[in-house]
Structure 1
Amino acid sequence: MSDATRSIASPPRRGRQGRPGRPGRPVGRDRLPALALVLAMIAVAFFALPLMGLLWKAPWSNAWSLLHKAGSLTALRLSIVCSLWATALSIMFGVPLAWLLARVEFRGRGIVRALCTLSMVLPPVVGGVALFFALGRRGFVGQYLDRWFDIRLPFTTAGVVVAQTFVAMPFLVLTVEAALRQFDRRFEDAARTLGASRWYVFRRVTLPAIRPALVAGAVLAWARALGEFGATITFAGNFPGTTQTMPLAVYLALESDPAQAIVLALVMIVMSFAVLIGLRDRWLGAVTTRSA
């Protein structure tokens, strides 16, 4: 057999790195180095240990009675209602804002985006102070709301909704804006060439395409509103039955009844964990939609 024939009949030998990966096993370059694996496990433990500490100290024998203690269920109900209102306002105003930032070219767009997402990086207490001097009874807008419309936002339930919306809306805006930027606009152009109006195109073409991102952004905004503390206590106060949400109730109980604070904290953790588990499929759906 000639050398040429032998080279064709016998495939060249491959080293260890040239072997095809077995099904179900990562390829060599996808394997996590030992050091990175150790660091990743430390990071997981860093997030898991606080939860384990709460579970270890939880008063399981009387947890139900502590949950039904005066004010606890009222604070939970107020948190859910106010956070849902904040989410609805975030969708109402955040989706048009995301559209503006994603589709309209204008001077100063970067400044507008930074301004609208500033509350994500501001300390929440600073946001509450800013809201107070803007919408308070003597604020530069609040004084006119009080004088002309008899509307007073600070230290009211409506003030809780305003504070939660202020800190939660940027999460929805950034999520929807990213989806709008990645959406192929040729589908919209094709619909317009067939005579569809802009509103029809948005409702029947654009909105279904970005729906996974919209749902993900709305759930993130709701979760952020549900856990809001600093802006709420600064702008709306801590009045049971009116402005005392679950985070404020946990803080107050920590000083007088730590066992009740642990139970309330676990309730919020369970709610947040359930939201994140349900949101995972939405994130994957958003990625699949954009990839398609």
Structure 2
Amino acid sequence: MTPRAAAASPAILSILLIPGLVIVAAFFLIPIARVAFEVGNGPEGWATYLLILTNGRYLESLIQTLAMSAGVTVMALILCAIVGLFLVRNRFAGRSILIGTLTLPLSFPGTVVGFMVIMLAGRQGVIGGLTDAAFGSKLVFAYDIAGLFIGYLYFSIPRVILAVMASAEKLDVQLEEAARSLGASRFRVICDVILPGLMPGLISSGAICFATAMGAFGTAFTLATDIDVLPMVIYTEFTRNANIPVAAALSIVLGLITWACLAAVRSFTGEGKNIAVRGGA
């Protein structure tokens, strides 16, 4: 490279960075600054953030959202670790169809997932019909936190199982055979060989699952009869109560929690290569 070309490279790179900087400013920095301004411009000023901890409804909503997101993440990791490892280690008729079915929810918006939960556990759902025929009363749980849990778990499975399968394909079977030859039990092989190998995929997909469940709105909106998770509270405060400062403060808190979760995983896993762009629900 000539000295002139070397001198021109930084200028060219700066020009190429302009579109990216414009997009980041327009769709991230400016909206975040605007939301933060609305918090400080409210009647309580920056003390609006304290309402989240002092107001019973907001605090309960935050705790409920954190607990449900954590529960969905743990359940998805357990199920997908077992199923993903089985699918990688075994070949059978219909395997491709099963994998395609498990990843199908990636193409569904949250409202569709919510409607499917209603068809499963709503007043006219399959479970209600079966329990009515068997016991004379309908079991309906689509419109409370249990229904939302099932919906979030449903659209979380594809995000987790793909990462688990990718990690499972990289496992060295010879290490497992060596551990067994040295007298290790199946339980010790799982704990000392298989789980450490799956851990990068479990951690990264778990973070995506948690962050998605924290901020998912479409499914909660479809099922919102007796559900008070944080996205629904933000929607209610903004549209029905016109309480823009509180809605903005809750939005900032929700964004910080999801960002901190993903940032912690990136730090824990190094460069965070397994962190993918999370989809909305």
TM-score by length of 2: 0.81
What is the CA deviation profile of residues 108-149 of structure 1, one whole-angstrom value per residue up to 9, with x for unaligned ones? 323222221222221100111012112224322443256558
The structure-2 alpha-carbon separation of the partners of 1:96 and 1:142, relative to structure 1 and needing over 3 Å to count, comes to farther
Amino acid at match of 2:88: A
Amino acid at match of 1:169: I
1:168 positional shift: 2.0
Equivalent position to 1:225, from 206, 213, 222? 213
Return 141-150 or 103-112, whichever deviates more: 141-150
Alignment of 1:11-50 (within 5 A): 16=2, 33-45=13-25, 46-50=27-31
Amino acid at match of 2:152: Q
Q: Structure 1: 5+ residue runs without aligned partners?
A: 1-14, 22-27
Match for residue 172 of structure 2? 184
Q: Structure 2: 5+ residue runs without aligned partners?
A: 275-281
Verify the 8 A CA contact 2:265 2:272 in the aligned structure 1.
Answer: no
1:275 positional shift: 0.9
Match for residue 63 of structure 1? 48
- Aligned-partner Cα distance in 2 for 1:32–1:74: 52
Matched, 1:278 2:264: yes
- Aligned-partner Cα distance in 1 for 2:9–2:169: 32
What is the CA deviation profile of residues 155-199 of structure 1, one whole-angstrom value per residue up to 9, with x for unaligned ones? 222122112212223222122111111222221232234344444
Match for residue 146 of structure 2? 158
Equivalent position to 1:113, from 79, 90, 99? 99
Matched, 1:214 2:195: no
Verify the 8 A CA contact 1:219 1:279 in the aligned structure 2.
Answer: yes
Verify the 8 A CA contact 1:90 1:165 in the aligned structure 2.
Answer: yes
- Aligned-partner Cα distance in 1 for 2:266–2:198: 16
Verify the 8 A CA contact 1:179 1:213 in the aligned structure 2.
Answer: yes
The structure-2 alpha-carbon separation of the partners of 1:148 and 1:131, relative to structure 1 and needing over 3 Å to count, comes to same
What is the CA deviation profile of residues 192-220 of structure 1, one whole-angstrom value per residue up to 9, with x for unaligned ones? 34344444322221111222321222222
Match for residue 254 of structure 1? 238
Q: In structure 2, the residue corresponding to 1:164 is in which secondary structure?
A: helix
Verify the 8 A CA contact 1:119 1:170 in the aligned structure 2.
Answer: yes
Q: What's the Cα RMSD here?
A: 2.9
- Aligned-partner Cα distance in 2 for 1:93–1:280: 23
Match for residue 157 of structure 2? 169
Matched, 1:98 2:84: yes
- Aligned-partner Cα distance in 2 for 1:148–1:216: 43
Q: In structure 1, the residue corresponding to 2:126 is in which secondary structure?
A: coil
Amino acid at match of 1:185: V
- Aligned-partner Cα distance in 1 for 2:169–2:121: 34
Q: In structure 1, the residue corresponding to 2:92 is in which secondary structure?
A: coil
- Aligned-partner Cα distance in 2 for 1:196–1:146: 50
Alignment of 1:80-99 (within 5 A): 80-99=66-85
Match for residue 53 of structure 1? 34
Equivalent position to 1:132, from 92, 100, 118? 118
1:86 positional shift: 1.2
1:70 positional shift: 5.3
Return 104-113 or 274-283, whichever deviates more: 104-113
The structure-2 alpha-carbon separation of the partners of 1:104 and 1:35, relative to structure 1 and needing over 3 Å to count, comes to farther
- Aligned-partner Cα distance in 2 for 1:189–1:287: 29
- Aligned-partner Cα distance in 2 for 1:100–1:30: 50
- Aligned-partner Cα distance in 1 for 2:148–2:118: 12
Q: Which has the larger radius of gyration?
A: 1
Match for residue 12 of structure 1? none
Q: In structure 1, the residue corresponding to 2:255 is in which secondary structure?
A: helix
Amino acid at match of 2:39: A
Return 247-256 or 170-179, whichever deviates more: 170-179
The structure-2 alpha-carbon separation of the partners of 1:32 and 1:173, relative to structure 1 and needing over 3 Å to count, comes to farther
1:61 positional shift: 3.8
The structure-2 alpha-carbon separation of the partners of 1:100 and 1:146, relative to structure 1 and needing over 3 Å to count, comes to farther
The structure-2 alpha-carbon separation of the partners of 1:147 and 1:75, relative to structure 1 and needing over 3 Å to count, comes to farther
